[in-house]
Amino acid sequence: MNIGFIGLGNMGVGMARNLLRAGHSLTVYNRTRSRAESLVSEGARVAATPGEAARGEVVITMLADDAALEGVVFGEGGILATLVPGAIHISMSTVSVAIARRLAEAHAAKRQAFVSAPVLGRPEAAAAAKLIILAAGAEQDLARCKPLLDAMGQQTFVVAADAPAANVVKLCCNFLIASIIETLGESFALARKSGVPAQKLLEVLAGTPMTAPLVKTYGTIIAEENYSPAGFALRLGLKDVRLMLAASESAEAPLPIASLLRDHFLTALARGYGDLDWAAIAKVAAENAGLTPRS
């Protein structure tokens, strides 16, 4: 298929590469052009503007936040102005429910198709085509996207026909992870102050049938106080909590756990932990218990 790909960050570069490997014809755009050029040797063409990458059957966006997405879609020479009727925009970034709603409406008005397909997984999963994809959109559009999604992920959940629903579900996933991290952080602080070895608590929490790989992943990071390099940076974690809170306001559904997370993320930022892994909110829990880092 003739595809455009916009946004070649840590996630996007792996995803684009997997599309090339699957034999698709790819035009890529990135604000910092050098990152786009790195894919030329693998067969990609480089576009000078977002619109130039939106001349095929499908354009995929994988960007940092609402503002970046808004720019490439609504800006001059952007996707909205270029994409032909019937072609599809697949938005795979973690962005707000509100912008997904706005995109769905804007594309519909121009008879362009829109699929919202945010992903679960870290950069290694993107590189290995192991992402979990949460897709929402019209049935026939999802069917057309399927080979592309299959080339980038290990599993696609079809969430709903209403595109923004995928964004709600994506935010709920990250909310669950963040809440588990916070709970682990508080638990490890209590354990340390009660004289229980962190490794022992980890062994139990990560070793029982009730737990999940993510309890093991984050429990290990916290027990070992090993927050750098970041798998997912703390300041991005705060962004997701903010999106969750924005969704909460629109829906008039309070989220006290998210509020609490927000405040702990802010403390973490204020203390200079913004570039550590987001599991470093456990440092806040530890410091609130009067603990100092093990060196």
Residue of 110, 130, 146, 170 marked active site: 170
The residue (of 57 and 240) whose beta carbon lies closer to a second copy is 240
The residue (of 1 and 127) whose beta carbon lies closer to a second copy is 127
Measured from the CB of residue 216, what is the shortest distance to a second copy in angstroms?
10
Q: 3-class secondary structure for the chain? A: CEEEEECCCHHHHHHHHHHHHCCCEEEEECCCHHHHHCCHHHCCEECCCCHHHHCCCEEEECCCCHHHHHHHHHCCCCHHHHCCCCCEEEECCCCCHHHHHHHHHHHHHCCCEEEECCEECCHHHHHCCCEEEEEECCHHHHHHHHHHHHHHEEEEEEEECCCHHHHHHHHHHHHHHHHHHHHHHHHHHHHHHCCCCHHHHHHHHHHCCCCCHHHHHHHHHHHHCCCCCCCCEHHHHHHHHHHHHHHHHHHCCCCHHHHHHHHHHHHHHHCCCCCCEHHHHHHHHHHHCCCCCCC
170 catalytic? Reply is yes
The residue (of 105 and 263) whose beta carbon lies closer to a second copy is 263
Measured from the CB of residue 119, what is the shortest distance to a second copy in angstroms?
11
The residue (of 50 and 121) whose beta carbon lies closer to a second copy is 121
Measured from the CB of residue 205, what is the shortest distance to a second copy in angstroms?
7
Catalytic residue numbers, as ranges? 170
